[in-house]
Amino acid sequence: MVFRSATLAGMLKPIEISTGVDTRAIPTVIAAKLAAMRLRIEAFQDCWDQHHAAQFVAADYELVYQTLAWVSETQASIGRRFVEWGCGFATVACLADALGWNAYAIEAHADLISEARKTIADWPAKVDLFAGNFLPPGADDLAADPTLPSLGHGGQSAYGAWETDLDDFSLVYSYPWPGEDEFHEDVFDRYAAVGAMLLMFVGPNEMRLMRKVKA
C-alpha cells in the first residue's frame, strides 16, 4: 500500500500494535544474526568505559524485528525510506534492510560508528550510515530540558550531508532514553512528512508506533 505525502503542519496519531506481535515467528537466519549481535554488544559493553559510549543501550531486537515486520506487512507507507536515529551498532537498520526498506542510519559516537560499519559489512546489508547528528538543524529548541541525551552532539546534521530532509523518510525508528520520548515525537512531528511513521522502542516489552496526520 502506498499513498502520497504532503509536508508541514500535522499531529501524531497513535497506531495500536497488534497484541500478538511478540509471538510472530522470527526467521532462523535473522535469529542467528541477532544472537551473534548480542554477543558482540555484550563484549563491547564489558569494556564500555574504554569507549565512553555510555549513551548506547541495546533494544530488544527480537521484539523490534517482530514489530517492524508487522508494520511492513500491515501499515500503509508513503515510501520505502527508513532511518534509524542513534543507531549504535546499526542492528535495526540492518533488520529494516532485510525487510525491504531503503535503510539509513545515523550515529554520533565514533566507536559506535566503527561497530555499525562492521555490522553492515558482516550482515551483509545495504545501509547508508552517517557519522553525525540525527537532529535536524533547529530541533534543539523543542527540548524543554537542555540535558536530554539526544542534545549536545556536535556532529554535522545527517540530512544536509545526504542532501535530503527528514520529510523524505517514510519510517523513523528510535530508542529514546527515558524522559526524551516526547522530544523525539516533537522533532518528528515538526520535521517529518504527513503520512510518515515513527516507531520507538520505549522499554522492556514496549514499542510505540504513530503516524503524522494532517492537523
Q: Which residues bind ligand SAM (CB under 6 A)?
A: 55-59, 84, 86-88, 92, 106-109, 112, 133-135, 149-150, 153, 175, 177, 201
User: CB 58 → ligand SAM: shortest distance, Å?
Assistant: 4
Distance separating alpha carbons of residues 104 and 97, to the nearest angstrom: 9
CB nearer to ligand SAM: give 11 or 57. Answer: 57
Q: What is the nearest approach in angstroms of ligand SAM to the Cβ of residue 90?
A: 8
Min dist CB 100 to ligand SAM, Å, is 20
Altogether, the residues listed in the chain come to a count of: 215
For residues 38, 39, 41 and 42, what is the CA-based torsion angle, rounded to 10 degrees? 110
Residue whose CB is less far from ligand SAM, 78 or 105: 105
Return the number of the residue (106 or 198) whose C-beta is nearest ligand SAM.
106
CA of residue 111 relative to chain centroid, distance: 18
61: which residues sit within 8 A by CB, 6+ positions away?
Answer: 34, 37, 38, 91, 92, 95
Count of other CB atoms within 10 angstroms of residue 28: 8
Question: For residues 58 and 71, which CB has a smaller minimum distance to ligand SAM in the complex?
Answer: 58
